[in-house]
Amino acid sequence: MNSGERLSELAERIRSSSRITVLTGAGVSAASGVPTFRGREGLWNNFSAEQLATAEAFRRDPKLVWEWYSWRRELISRCQPNAAHLVLAAWSRRFTGFTLITQNVDGLHERAGTQYVIRFHGSIWEVSCWNRCASSPPRWWDDSVPLPSIPPLCPHCGGITRPGVVWFGENIDPSIADRSLKAARCDLFLTVGTSALVYPAAGLTFDAKTQGAFTVEINPEATPASGSVDLAIQEPAEAVLPKVDALLREK
C-alpha cells in the first residue's frame, strides 16, 4: 500500500466508525516546538525524563525537578497548537463518539478546542500539595509563568507543591484509567506521536485491538506497536492529519 492508499484507508475507517478513540503522545506537539521525551532534544541539562519524572528525584532535589518543569512551562506557554491539534479538535466536535486520550501534559489539545480530552498523565498547569495537607484540594490550577518561587509553595500550609503530573512508579488516577479502558472499546483506535514505550498508556492500543478495534499508528519512526497495528502511517502527524481531513471533506 502506498502513502496515498494508507491515508484513504484511514479516511474510510473514520467515515465508517461510530466510536473513534485517539491516543496522543509528545510527537503530536513536536511541530509546535515542544521537545519530545526520547528524542535527542528531550534531554534537559543532561537529565532524562526517567531521571527527573519520579517521586524519588523530587524527594531528593525538589528545586532541580521544579527547575525542569519551570523551563518546560515557559517553553510551552510560548507554543501554539499545530495542524495536528487543530484537525483532532475539529474531529472531536464533528464526530459523536470521539474521545481523545493524551499522555501530554502541555494542554495544547485543550487550547486547540478539543472536546472530551482525557489527560492520562495529568497537567503541567496543575499543582498539588506535596504534604497533601488537610486544607488543600487534591490539585489545583496554576498557570503562572514564571513561577512566583521555585519550588512554588502551597497557599494552605506553606509547604512545597509538586507538579500535577503522573511520574514513573505512580498509578494512573483510577477514574482516568477506567474512562480510558472504556474508550479503548471502540471501532477505530488511532495512536499518534507516541513511542509506545510507557505503560499503561502503551497497552491501550493492544486493549483496543483485543476488543475488536481497527488500530492505526501515525509516527515517522517505527515503535514497538508498529508491527501489531492494522495500519501504520510513517509520516509526521501535522502532515498526515490535514491530508486525511481534506479527504473526509471530499464528497
Residues with catalytic annotation?
Answer: 121
Which residue is at the shortest CB distance from ligand BJW? Answer: 27
CB-based burial, 115-147: b 16+ in 10 Å, e otherwise: eebbbbbbbbbbbbbbeeeeebeebeebeeeeb
2 sits near ligand BJW (criterion: CB under 6 A):
no
* Closest to ligand BJW by CB, 158 or 222: 222
Among 31, 118, 184, 216, binds ligand BJW (CB under 6 A): 31
Given Zn ion, ligand BJW, none, residue 136, with its beta carbon under 5 to 8 Å by kind, binds Zn ion
**Structural contact between residues 162 and 128, judged by C-beta atoms closer than 8 angstroms:** yes
Q: Is 177 helix (H, G, I), strand (E, B) or coil?
A: helix
Q: Is 183 helix (H, G, I), strand (E, B) or coil?
A: helix
Cell 515542544 sits on residue:
34
Given ligand BJW, Zn ion, none, residue 170, with its beta carbon under 5 to 8 Å by kind, binds ligand BJW
**Structural contact between residues 232 and 221, judged by C-beta atoms closer than 8 angstroms:** no
129 sits near Zn ion (criterion: CB under 5 A):
yes
Q: 46 burial class (0-12, 13-18, 19+ CB within 10 angstroms)?
A: exposed
* Closest to ligand BJW by CB, 13 or 162: 162
In this chain, which stretch among 137-145, 155-163, 172-180, 234-242 interacts with Zn ion, using CB under 5 A? 155-163
224 sits near ligand BJW (criterion: CB under 6 A):
no
* Closest to ligand BJW by CB, 148 or 169: 169
- CA–CA separation, 31 and 95 (whole Å): 25
CB-based burial, 227-245: b 16+ in 10 Å, e otherwise: eebebbbeebbbebbebbb
Binding residues for ligand BJW, rule: CB under 6 A, are: 25-27, 30-31, 36-39, 42, 49, 53, 103, 105, 121, 165-171, 193-195, 197-200, 218-221, 223, 236-238
Binding residues for Zn ion, rule: CB under 5 A, are: 129, 133, 136, 154, 156-157, 159
